[in-house]
Amino acid sequence: MLRSDRGQVAIELLGMAPTIIITLVLLWQCVLLGYTYTLAGNAADEAVRAGTAATGDRQDICEQAGRKNLPDTWQDGAEITCTAHRTGFVTADVDLKVPVLFPGTIDFPLTLHGHAGTVTEVTD
């Protein structure tokens, strides 16, 4: 007596659905991690560029430039610091929190770091 295979695909799909969903969630979280890393590097680059051109309050100008292109949800936990060294070298450090699945809800305790540095150009 032969048995029918009717319904077998539905059962296999139900069995694989959790694995597929977990894989998609993990991939999305990796995308958010990479995007946050890219944002931190870009913010550090923008901040150090503004820091080298600043003549007044370098820290304030540097921080504003670093925050300028950050999306709103990443700005809340952003820490941006600029340091001018006596040698004319300016560095910017940006720390951003990585969101969990949906930016703006909760963040991982993980902080990603972006760093940039350049030399101040002197024009006479």
Range of lowest pLDDT (2-11, 15-24, 32-41): 2-11
Sheet holding 79-84: strands in order across? 79-84, 89-99, 107-119
- Do 111 and 97 touch, CB atoms closer than 8 A? yes
* pLDDT single digits (tens) 46-76: 888 888 876 667 778 888 888 888 888 888 8
Element (H, E) at 87: none
* pLDDT single digits (tens) 80-118: 888 888 887 888 999 998 888 888 788 878 888 999 888
Q: pTM value?
A: 0.78
Residue 31 has pLDDT above 90, yes or no: yes
pLDDT band for position 44 (cuts 50, 70, 90): very high
